Structure 1
Amino acid sequence: MSDANVNTVSREASIDIPVPEKHHSKAYGSVRRSSIFPGFNPNMFAARMRRQSTRSSIPRNGYERRTIRYESTYQMEPDQNHKVDMDQLRRVASETLATALLSYRYDANRARKFSSNLAERIRNDIKQLSYTRYKIVVHVVVGQRKSQGVLVASRCLWDVTLDRHVTITKQTRNAYITVTIFLVYNE
């Protein structure tokens, strides 16, 4: 009786064992896994990003912020009170540049940091003038003065009636600084 049980079990086991199939190394349409981020699936990431809303529905302590949406004013030109006064703009930028250059001595290692700090300082001073609806771009070039000629040029889309720019160049004993300020009207 035990022989009969063994035979039936072995027959059932041979029926249940799957036949090995030929597998390809890559499935058709599969995404290659990243070796840098194991388990990262770009399709899953994209689906998750589509499900996220742009606004947080769960209020968090200290981070409750309401989005304020303003209606369009359809204002195509600045008011008379908010037009750019070029003399005032040049004066403010020149004063800021002069105070920054009082003790400046050119050093190639520190020129990049100096130019970015100077551009930020000038931009902040111009923001105090409250030119509303103008985007302010400050471009600073700093170089060592060694009896060479330098030409600084820039190109951009421009509305001649509303957009403004100022270029100021100063020289010290061993350096030259060229500051170009663009005020672009944003409708």
Structure 2
Amino acid sequence: MAQVSTGKFSASTQRSTDIRAGVGTTVTSRPQVRYECTYKMTPDRKLLPYEATNIIEDILESELQSQRYDPKKSQLWCCDLADKIKGKVKDLGYGRYKIVALVTIGSVEHGAVCCASQCVWNDKFDTYGEYTYRNGSLYAVGTVYGIYQE
């Protein structure tokens, strides 16, 4: 698909035409904003592990209490639950923290699993919360990492 741009518009507006279809569109873009470094090395508020753990517990308990293990659905559940957990932790308002949420779901009936993780971080400001949920059919391990961005 060939694109042609014309120079008749201001720097913040571009006009492109699809030669094959003969259709013109106008796209407006904002100028890029450059932010200065604040050199802020410590957070205003440190992410509290028990707050993250409580969120994980609430979400896993409410979403999985009536579920039976299904290997095909588990993949979707993991992504959905991790997104919900991450969103709730971000809603706590800890600015400048990068939030990473992981959820693992497995069957209670099929063997044992060992979960481990390693991170390189500043133990003064970075933290994590975790919770393990279990019902008669499945187990779920939810983990949230809060990494402070300097």
Is TM more than 0.5 here? yes
Q: Is the 8 A contact 2:108 2:137 kept in 1?
A: yes
Aligned to 2:85: 122
- Counterpart position of 1:70: 35
C-alpha distance in 2, partners of 1:63/1:95? 43
> Could you tell me the TM-score, scaled by structure 2's length?
0.79
Deviations 1:85-107 (A, max 9, x none): 22222212211121111322111
What is the correspondence of 1:133-172 to structure 2 with a 5 Å cutoff? Answer: 133-146=96-109, 148-172=111-135
Query: What is the TM-score of this pair, normalised by structure 1?
Result: 0.64
Give unmatched runs, 5+ long, in structure 2. 1-9, 15-25
Runs (4+) of structure 1 exceeding 4 A deviation are none
Give the 3-state SS of the residue equivalent to 1:110 in structure 2: helix
Seq. identity, %: 32
* Residue in structure 1 matched with residue 56 of structure 2 by the alignment: 93
Q: Does the residue aligned with 2:75 lie in a helix, a strand or coil?
A: helix
1:147 positional shift: 6.2
Q: Which has the larger radius of gyration?
A: 1
Q: 1:157 is paired with a residue of what secondary structure? A: coil
Whose relative contact order is higher, 1 or 2, with alpha carbons under 8 Å and at least 6 apart?
2
CA contact (8 A) 1:105 1:174 kept: yes
1:84 and 2:47 aligned: yes
CA deviations over 1:59-100 (Å, ceiling 9, x no partner): 144532232222111000101xx2212222221221112111
Of the candidates 59, 62, 65, which is equivalent to residue 13 of structure 2?
59
Q: Which residue type is aligned with residue 117 of structure 2?
A: S
Structure 2 distance, partners of 1:156, 1:57, is 44
Alpha-carbon distance between aligned partners in 1 of 2:93 and 2:72, rounded to the nearest angstrom:
35
Q: Between Structure 1 and Structure 2, which shows a larger proportion of helix residues?
A: 1
Structure in which a larger fraction of residues adopt strand:
2
Which residue, out of 62, 73, 77, partners 1:110? 73
1:10-67: CA deviation from partner (whole Å, max 9, x where unpaired)? xxxxxxxxxxxxxxxxxxxxxxxxxxxxxxxxxxxxxxxxxxxxxx945144532232
* Structure 1 SS opposite 2:71: coil
Matches of 1:105 and 1:67 in 2, distance apart?
A: 49
Aligned-partner Cα distance in 2 for 1:67–1:104: 47
